[in-house]
Amino acid sequence: MRLDPNSAIPLYRQIYDSLRDAITSGRLAPGAALPATRVLAQELAVSRNTTAAALAQLRAEGYLEVRPRSGTRVSPLLPDTLLAAPRGRAGRPSAAVRHPALSRHGARLAALHPSTTSAPRPFRFGIPALDAFPWHLWARLTSRRLRHSAAALTGYDRATGFAPLREAIAGYVRAARGAVCASEQVIITSGAQQGLDLLARLLIDEGDQVWVENPGYPSARAAFAAVGARIVPIPLDAEGLDVRAGARRAPRARLVYTTPSRQYPVGVTMSAARRFELLRWAARADAWVVEDDYDSEFRYVSRPLACLQGLDESGRVLYVGTFSKTLFPGLRLGYVIVPPALAGAFATARAVADWHSPAVEQAVLADFIREGHFARHIRRMRVLYQTRRDALLAALEALAPNSLEVTDAGAGMQLLGWLPRGVSDRHVAELALAAGLDVAPLSAFAIGPLARGGLVLGYTEFAPAVLKAAVRRLGAVLERVRQ
């Protein structure tokens, strides 16, 4: 056995590694005796503590055993044998296995096209500025929770979520969004997406009609399509979802999905009059309203309107929120504020799906909110995003006139640039991709053809200089299209 005293690997670990190697390769056979720690220490010119630590580790893992009067020996049955599964049978799987018959629900799911992740290049949208996140603080709060409350947070918790987080969220949406709710109505989910999936399963039967904004959020449509809903695309106008058009097309719809704070991806804010019109229609039609409030924290010019949930007097709004935009998407924490009579059904559905979200992350998030870090982080990001948005707007102004007409809703995490009529946004997006730019074509969010194409441009992740250079490249692409 050769030891390297200058290695970063501690000596006891080097001894452990070589003995384990010798045992698993068979050089030290099962039953072989090992020298006493004192003798081994002398042979290797290390302290006895060092050899004792190496042998203790091998014993703890089951490679060695100590028997009275026969000393330390290699175990007759090695742990590697106990942990390794027998080899599976080889052979060609049958046709039924290669092309498995899915359930009706399974077939609908498999036919969907979930959105994929893309590289962080301009103008990717929907991702917060992850380099500006207070990671050290998050790490400190996590380590504090693990040191002081590991026992309470590492077993099973309630399916509805960690109680202090539910309280912190209820307090936040009451104060910041005008919601009217108690913490018992807050169901913690794995991001907004799980909230949409659960509510679709709980409220929609196969064949039920669901209004969705067109263009709109494809992942919400996917959750409704998976349960067999008939998706009814509803157009938008300057005040948001066109309720009258919806009432004409599908008067008996069971549910309406909407993004009233800032329509996704066009950016219109639903007017106050339209909010009341939608709620009146829903009350008459006995329909549910799902309000997806994914990025309302980022407003740069005016105060937000109260959320639909807070205006609703008939208890038919389900408010979906997420921390993917305010904190980071990998956290996978979101919530649904449900009418009180639905809370029990949500808890059961969540338990059946996956019990609950990780409790340590929920507790850290609760601390982050309660100790004021959340509000502070949002304030900082609002300023940062406004600077980036202004830089993007200024750079876009320098583009050739009429090549891209930008609508600025003064809010959110992305802008929409309308292309001249007749120009295909998918074609522009392909050319932009070849130029190293990620621009999402508006038609990718639409059901059926759109009267006018557009480009969705994100800015939250990029410094002003990066945005400026990217707009120059985009300008060259748009020039090519015009010629």
Nearest to 224 by CA among 234, 241, 210, 243: 210
In the 8-state DSSP scheme, what is residue 420?
A: P
Question: Nearest approach, Cβ of 333 to ligand PLP (angstroms)?
Answer: 8
Question: Nearest approach, Cβ of 188 to ligand PLP (angstroms)?
Answer: 12
> Residue from 197, 208, 213, 292 that binds ligand PLP (CB under 6 A)?
292
Question: Using CB under 6 A, which of the segments 13-21, 187-195, 340-348, 438-446 binds ligand PLP?
Answer: 187-195
> Residue from 192, 253, 363, 432 that binds ligand PLP (CB under 6 A)?
192
Question: Nearest approach, Cβ of 413 to ligand PLP (angstroms)?
Answer: 9
**Number of residues near ligand PLP (by CB under 6 A):** 13
Nearest to 405 by CA among 464, 446, 457, 357: 457
> Residue from 209, 322, 362, 403 that binds ligand PLP (CB under 6 A)?
322
The enclosing H or E element of 187 equals strand 186-189
Strand runs labelled E in 194-349:
209-213, 230-234, 236-237, 240-241, 255-258, 288-292, 317-322, 334-337
Nearer to ligand PLP, 209 or 324 (CB): 324
Question: Using CB under 6 A, which of the segments 22-30, 37-45, 78-86, 191-199 binds ligand PLP?
Answer: 191-199
> What Cα–Cα distance (Å) separates residue 161 from each residue in 144, 190, 456?
20, 10, 35
Positions 227 through 286 that interact with ligand PLP (CB under 6 A):
259, 264
Binding flag, residue 334, ligand PLP (CB under 6 A) = yes
Strand runs labelled E in 353-462:
405-407, 414-418, 440-441, 454-458
Binding flag, residue 134, ligand PLP (CB under 6 A) = no
Q: Interior CA angle at 155 toward 152 and 159, to 5°?
A: 100
Binding flag, residue 294, ligand PLP (CB under 6 A) = yes
- Confirm if 46 and 7 have CB atoms less than 8 A apart: no
Nearer to ligand PLP, 14 or 194 (CB): 194
Nearer to ligand PLP, 204 or 477 (CB): 204
Binding flag, residue 126, ligand PLP (CB under 6 A) = yes
> What Cα–Cα distance (Å) separates residue 440 from each residue in 54, 118, 361, 426, 462?
57, 11, 32, 8, 16
Tell me the C-alpha distance between 207 and 202, whole Å: 14
Q: Interior CA angle at 334 toward 328 and 337, to 5°?
A: 150
Question: Using CB under 6 A, which of the segments 190-198, 203-211, 400-408, 415-423 binds ligand PLP?
Answer: 190-198
Nearer to ligand PLP, 145 or 221 (CB): 221
Binding flag, residue 191, ligand PLP (CB under 6 A) = yes
Nearer to ligand PLP, 330 or 422 (CB): 330
Longest CA span, the chain? 93
Binding flag, residue 357, ligand PLP (CB under 6 A) = no
CB atoms within 10 A of CB 480: 11
For ligand PLP, the binding residues (CB under 6 A) are 126, 191-193, 217, 259, 264, 292, 294, 322, 324, 329, 334
